[in-house]
Amino acid sequence: MILCITEKPSVAADIARILGAGVRRDGYYEGGDYKITWTFGHLCELKEPHDYTEMWKRWSLGSLPMIPERFSIKLKSDKGIEAQFNVIKQLVSQASEVINCGDAGQEGELIQRWVLQLAGCKVPVRRLWISSLTDEAIRAGFDGLRPESDFSNLYLAGLSRAAGDWLLGMNATRLYSLKYSEPGRVLSIGRVQTPTLALIVKRHLEIADFTPRDYWELKTEYRSAIFSATEGRFESEELGCETLEKVAAAPLQITSVSKKAGREAPPRLFDLTSLQVECNKRFGWTADQTLRLIQSLYEKKVTTYPRVDTTYLPEDIYPKIPGILGRMTPYAPQTALLLQGKIAKSKKVFDNSKVTDHHAIIPTGQSPDLLVDDEKRMYHLIALRFISAFYPDCEFSTTTVLAEAAGVPFKATGKVIVKPGWRALSDSDRQQDQSEGDNILPDFAEGESGPHSPSLQKKQTQPPKPYTEGTLLRAMESAGKTVDDEQLREAMKENGIGRPSTRAAIIETLFRRHYIARERKNIVATQAGIDLIALINEELLKSAKLTGLWENKLRRIERGSYSPQEFMQELKSMIQQIVLNVLSDNTNRRIVIEDRKPGPEKQADRPKKPRAPRIKSVEEIVCPFCGQGHLLKGRTAYGCSRFREGCTLRLDFSEYPAELTPAKLRTKVARLTSASKS
């Protein structure tokens, strides 16, 4: 019997149908020579500290650092998981061969290998590796099953990541909580979450410390065109006025007119991060929301594997492009031009050297008719990006006009679209975004002159903008550097913070632990987050650059060019040094963090503390801040039920007594709502 193990029941059903295993049993399908079962994502996890030794059950500085001689795994404590694992274990014991049908990525490899290890698998294992869930892709995948050994480095990279996160998270969280927090309070620290928080706190401090400065710009209008003085900003109004008076008394003369042809290539195909950035910019979706939607599109077979970090396609997909475009019938008007001739094969789209396990996110050609609401909007975005990749470049002409008045040089530029190319496909939002900077100039002749209307405009320097989820994802991708150039951004992905598949979860973790909050579309640091980063002196724990270098090493483990043992030894040495440094700190600093739900460790593995009273809902009184949640009653104040989504409402009992009846509380909240609206 051949056993197939998938990561989700829905995938198991698809594979069972294709293999002819149509009989449904309790926890698996069977038919012919095959049985198909499934996991529910992670069934296993690394053991907790107290599983290794009784000494690590109690939180104490003397037990640090905690470094297991060998990491071990265990089954998660859940009745449903235990029942499904028992099914898998029994089927493994009966199998002559196992086919690993888990998600084709690092996390999927780790999930399946841990399950097979715990189930005691002794038979040969082969790997199904596919980039979409269409019937065609699944059949092709089974025709080309690969040996498990092909993916050993992928597994070792996933194992190193999990063990590294355990080492740093468990040790640093206990170390800082015991050393710097109030008894029983937890300071959650992680290998990726803390550098990400440090980025947000750094931006917060840059904005808070920013002092605006006045400056003046000199512009003039001539023949309905706006010219700017090329000398730049004037630091004083007096100097600006002096120059203004000088140029106002003289005509403006055109000294040079030049035109230059330019081309704009289509935007790159989507990887997960660029899709999350674009959806945040256009629709205001969170990174997690975008990830869930694209996962749904993948499981509905309309797009390819989503958790990718490349914007390229392999060259062997090129012959399949006409077929995919031809099946995208809702976009027939847009694809018709492409299908009339030979489709362009650009190195900006097809590059084997830029593709590893998976390629960019593209449509599969399957009908999107079953999609609903936001799924349709996302599919439309991906479909247009895919089609536009094969359209011609946008051709434009840039005109630069130089002029001078009383010896003061001026310049005006304009841009005219000659052939729209791929931009003809863009929806109205994108056309508007890209045409905002366009400025069509009248025809000027070199040597002409005439009266003009100069003016001096007072402006102020602006602080850096707070992060949105989109700009934060870009900062994580490039280890804190702001990079707009696509080629440079591709080169920096090797050193990014986290992986595309985990960044959304990291951001959500910081929200959940109340280290950051949302202010409309912006992400801001809370006082708890600011205090935590101020407390950490160890650059290793909060440096985006250093964390990016660790990510680089994990990628090299995937490729087989770096040793997992060396990576783990470096981490162990780092943890030992951090523990030594913190224990040597005699400043007696303390940080106060409000109660939060447990962080990375289980409640049973935490220091004991008094149990707080349960928060009670207050009769569905609408939150006056966000207007979406309702009031909750805590120990010292009322809050909002959407506090995990970032709502910062707090009504202290000193002003809104705990003993108020719901009716009186509703009246007081209504006054607050009215005041905030006015």
The yes-or-no verdict on residue 427 having pLDDT over 70 is no
Evaluated on CA atoms 473, 476, 481, 484, the torsion sign reads negative
Q: What is the pTM of this model?
A: 0.75
The pLDDT assigned to 613 comes to: 32
Confidence band (pLDDT; 50, 70, 90) for 20? very high
pLDDT tens, 576-585?
A: 999 998 888 8
Q: What per-residue confidence (pLDDT) applies to 602?
A: 41
* pLDDT for res 295: 92
Residues 6+ apart with CB under 8 A from 381: 270, 275, 278, 279, 282
Q: What's residue 481's pLDDT?
A: 67
- The yes-or-no verdict on residue 635 having pLDDT over 80 is no
CA 562 to chain centroid, in Å, comes to 26
Q: Is 305 a catalytic residue?
A: yes
Between the ranges 11-25, 531-545, 623-637, 660-674, where is the mean pLDDT highest? 11-25
Q: Could you tell me what percent of the chain has a pLDDT over 70?
A: 88
Please report the pLDDT score of residue 603 as a whole number.
Answer: 36
What's the pLDDT at 107?
85
- pLDDT given at position 41: 77
For the ranges 163-177, 238-252, 371-385, 532-546, the lowest mean pLDDT is seen at 532-546
- State the pLDDT confidence band at 269, using cuts at 50, 70 and 90: very high
Cis peptide before 65 (omega within 30 of 0): yes
Helix axes 287-299, 373-388, angle to 10 degrees: 80
CB-based contacts of 260: which residues, under 8 Å, 6+ apart? 397, 398, 400
Predicted pLDDT at 50: 93
- Cα angle 348, 504, 600 (rounded to 5 degrees) comes to 140
Structure confidence by residue, pLDDT tens digits, 438-465? 577 888 999 999 999 999 999 999 999 9
CB atoms near residue 206 (< 10 Å)? 12
Question: Given pLDDT bands bounded at 50, 70 and 90, which one contains residue 133?
Answer: confident
pLDDT > 90? residue 625: no
Active-site annotation holder among 176, 305, 638, 656: 305
- Exposure b/e, 120-141, CB count within 10 A at least 16 = b: ebeeebbbbbbbbbbebbbeeb
213-222, 249-258, 283-292, 422-431, range with the lowest pLDDT:
422-431
Domains of the chain: 2-144 (3.40.50.140), 161-208+466-583 (1.10.460.10), 214-266+394-460 (2.70.20.10), 272-388 (1.10.290.10), 616-677 (no CATH)
For β-strands 2-6 and 97-101, DSSP reports them as: parallel
Using alpha carbons, select from 160, 144, 168 the residue that is nearest to residue 106: 160
* pLDDT score recorded for residue 484: 52
Q: What is the mean pLDDT of the chain?
A: 86
| pLDDT for res 429 | 41
Q: Which pLDDT band holds residue 75 (cuts at 50, 70, 90)?
A: very high
Helices assigned H by DSSP within 181-271: 193-208, 237-248
Q: What is the pLDDT of residue 323?
A: 94
pLDDT digits 0-9 by tens, 305-356:
998 888 999 988 999 999 999 999 999 999 988 988 889 889 999 998 888 7
pLDDT in tens, 52-62: 999 999 999 98
Q: Are 238 and 214 in contact (CB under 8 A)?
A: no
Among candidate residues 256, 260, 222, the one with its CA nearest the CA of residue 402: 256
**What is the pLDDT at residue 355?**
83
How would residue 542 be classed by pLDDT, with cut points 50, 70 and 90?
confident
Residue 424 phi, psi (nearest 5):
-65, -20
SS3 525: strand
Task: Give the per-residue pLDDT at 340.
Answer: 87
> Mean pLDDT, to the nearest integer, of 553-561?
90
Closest CA to 162 of 120, 125, 113: 113
pLDDT band at 551; cut points 50, 70, 90: confident
- Measured CA to CA in angstroms, residue 34 lies from 15, 93, 119, 147, 240 at distances of 10, 14, 18, 18, 82
pLDDT, residue 487, reads 56
